[in-house]
Structure 1
Amino acid sequence: MKIRNIIEGKKEWRAHMARVKGLPQDYQIVYKEIQKYLFKVGPVELTNGTGLLSGIVDLFEEGAVLGKSVLEVTGSDVAAFCDDLIKDSKTYADIYQESVDQEVRKAMKKVTDKTK
């Protein structure tokens, strides 16, 4: 990765976080929890720019302008809201699960090859 790309990425991230700081306090709290959740279980693409996270900020900004509480926007189960956002995305958990399955298949093949 080129230095210019890194610098540009940092600028984008700072601008993104400035938008988050402009949200009402309750929205900021929920956004930070969503961010933590997605960084732990989220899609692989999440680290490529701020697309999904920017979309959440767009949604939150709109909800705030309409005078809605943050839980009116996300629903009371914020984790379910996150899961719905990433339901069609490949996650790090999926990648890990695939690697475990692959290792088990390799090990089982070795065992069956030895018994022949």
Structure 2
Amino acid sequence: MGIQDVIEGKKQWRAHLARVKALPPDYQIVYKEMQKYLFKVGPVDLLEGNLLSGIVDFFAESAATGRGVLEVIGEDVAAFCDELIKDSPTYADRYQESLKDKGGH
């Protein structure tokens, strides 16, 4: 990864954050909680993929209808996130695989 890639990545991240800040306050709060959760759970392709920007798109469309964020995703934010990444490999999955490869259980 060259310096241009780093600069472009930062520009894209700043643009993404600006889109988050344009959401209504309840959506911003839930987005930030989802982001923290997803960074902790660790889908392997989180930063390379479109998951975070897709969430912002979904939230922007939902907010435009006048619905509250919890009406859209439900009360359990973690369960909603888990459903989003259910078919994505996580760092926890990789760790479990490495234990199996080493003869662990």
**Larger proportion of helix:** 1
RMSD: 1.0
Deviations 1:21-79 (A, max 9, x none): 00111100000000000001131000215x10000000100111000000011111110
Give deviations 1:71-94, integer Å, cap 9, x for gaps.
011111110100000000000010
TM-score between the two structures when normalised by the length of structure 1: 0.86
Instruction: Please identify runs of 4+ aligned residues in structure 1 that moved more than 2 A.
Output: none
1:54 equivalenced with 2:53 (yes/no): yes
Whole-angstrom CA distance in 2 between matches of 1:24 and 1:69: 9
Larger Rg: 1
In the other structure, the counterpart of 2:71 is: 72
Consecutive unaligned residues of structure 2, counting only runs of 5 or more, are none
CA contact (8 A) 1:41 1:91 kept: yes
**1:14 offset after TM fit, Å?**
0.2
Q: Aligned equivalents of 1:81 and 1:103: distance in 2?
A: 33
Report the residue type matching 1:36 in the other structure: K
Please give the alpha-carbon distance, in whole angstroms, between the structure 2 residues aligned to 1:58 and 1:80.
19
Higher relative contact order (CA 8 A, sep 6+): 2
CA contact (8 A) 1:42 1:86 kept: no
1:17 maps to amino acid? L
| Structure 1 equivalent of residue 28 of structure 2 | 28
Unaligned runs of 5+ in 1: 106-116
* 1:12 aligned onto 2:12: yes
Match of 2:80 in 1: 81
